[in-house]
Amino acid sequence: MAKQPNRQLSSADLDSLLSLRPGTTVDLQISTPTAPKRVKTQYVGIDLPTSMIFQVPSESKWGYLRDILVPENEVVVRYVLEGEQGKVIAFRAEVLKVITHPSSLLFVDFPVSLQSLALRKHKRWTPGIQAQLSVSEGEQDIAIRSMIIDVSQQGCRCVCDASPDFPQLESGKAVKLMIADEKDLVCKGVVKNISVTQSKCFYGIQFSSDAEIVKKLLNRFIVEI
């Protein structure tokens, strides 16, 4: 039986939920009998204080999900709140229902608690991988501390402090990511999208490294919620 809605979330936690805008891409981790399956989907809306609604991830892209998106199965939802106090928000919930008409929608119960991690306050935080982002400017390599906040086989999303010593990257710019504590683990990629606030720069990067390097990076992406 699904949990009863929790009406005792703090005002800060409730604000974090209400700040999640419809259409935002979220990371959805679905429990399976073997290993959790992580997919991307979009947030649709909230029915206070009963449920949160997401698009059902595309089965053509993510594989057959109908057997695991079933009532009472557990999911973990993660998203990044960008802004001056950029942070990762994560919560557990149970599947309530999946409907297919008129649209394929996933309903999960209202979270009983949130996990919130400020990007700039944690040297090592989860989910995330400490890294160094570098670019070539002429004959000089310029590097800055960064944090990978999301990763897949195709690419990653990273955040770094806005710095006058680090150039504003543009789409199509070639970059390198060196993973902290593993100096031989260097992932090459290309910037695909950029989001900038007063103090943070968020970069979506498509990998161009070979599969083995990316596999090593994925093995480092450990989530502790």
Over the stretch 147-180, which tens digit does the pLDDT of each residue have?
887 777 788 888 888 877 777 788 899 999 887 6
Question: What pLDDT digit, counting tens, does each position of 96-107 carry?
Answer: 999 988 889 999
Residue 22 lies inside a defined structural domain of this protein: yes
Rounded percentage of the chain residues whose pLDDT exceeds 70: 82
In angstroms and rounded to an integer, the radius of gyration of the C-alpha atoms of the chain is: 18
Residue 2 lies inside a defined structural domain of this protein: no
Interior/surface letters 75-108, b for 16+ CB within 10 angstroms, e for the rest: bbbbbbbbeeebbbbbbbbbbbebeeeeeebbbb
Q: Are residues 78 and 150 in the same domain?
A: no
Question: What pLDDT digit, counting tens, does each position of 64-90 carry?
Answer: 777 889 999 999 998 887 655 567 788
Overall domain count for the chain: 2
Give the pLDDT mean for 56-68.
77
CB 205 within 8 Å of CB 158: yes
Which is more confidently placed, 114 or 53? 53
Q: What's the CA gap between 149 and 155, in Å, rounded?
A: 11
What is 65-89 written as a DSSP string?
-TTTS-TT-EEEEEEEE-STT-EEE
For position 173, which CATH number holds? 2.40.10.220
Q: What's the CA gap between 77 and 162, in Å, rounded?
A: 27
For position 23, which CATH number holds? 2.30.110.10
63, pLDDT greater than 90: no
State the pLDDT at residue 120: 44
* DSSP code for 6: P
State the pLDDT at residue 108: 96
Residue 36 lies inside a defined structural domain of this protein: yes
pLDDT-based confidence at 128, cuts 50/70/90?
low
Q: Are residues 137 and 49 in the same domain?
A: no
Q: Are residues 154 and 135 in the same domain?
A: yes
Closest to 39 (Cα-Cα) out of 152, 155, 126? 152
* DSSP code for 20: S
Q: Are residues 116 and 188 in the same domain?
A: no
Which is more confidently placed, 85 or 34? 34
Q: Are residues 82 and 159 in the same domain?
A: no
Q: Are residues 179 and 103 in the same domain?
A: no
Residue 73 lies inside a defined structural domain of this protein: yes
Q: Are residues 87 and 145 in the same domain?
A: no
Question: What pLDDT digit, counting tens, does each position of 165-219 carry?
Answer: 777 788 899 999 887 666 677 889 999 998 888 778 889 999 888 777 777 776 6
pTM higher than 0.75 for the full model? no
Q: Are residues 100 and 80 in the same domain?
A: yes
Which of residues 72, 102, 121 is at a domain's end? Answer: 121
Domain range for 82: 11-121
- Token pair of 207 as six digits: 């990998």
Torsion of CA 35, 36, 37, 43, to 10 degrees: 170
Q: Are residues 143 and 194 in the same domain?
A: yes
Closest to 19 (Cα-Cα) out of 94, 86, 72? 86
Residue 16 lies inside a defined structural domain of this protein: yes
* CB proximity list for 196: less than 8 A, separation 6 or greater: 162, 168, 202
Beta bridge partner(s), residue 118:
87
2, pLDDT greater than 60: no
CB 203 within 8 Å of CB 194: yes
Give the pLDDT mean for 9-19.
85
Residue 5 lies inside a defined structural domain of this protein: no
Which of residues 70, 88, 121 is at a domain's end? Answer: 121
Which of residues 86, 121, 156 is at a domain's end? Answer: 121
- Token pair of 206 as six digits: 């498509």
Residue 6 lies inside a defined structural domain of this protein: no
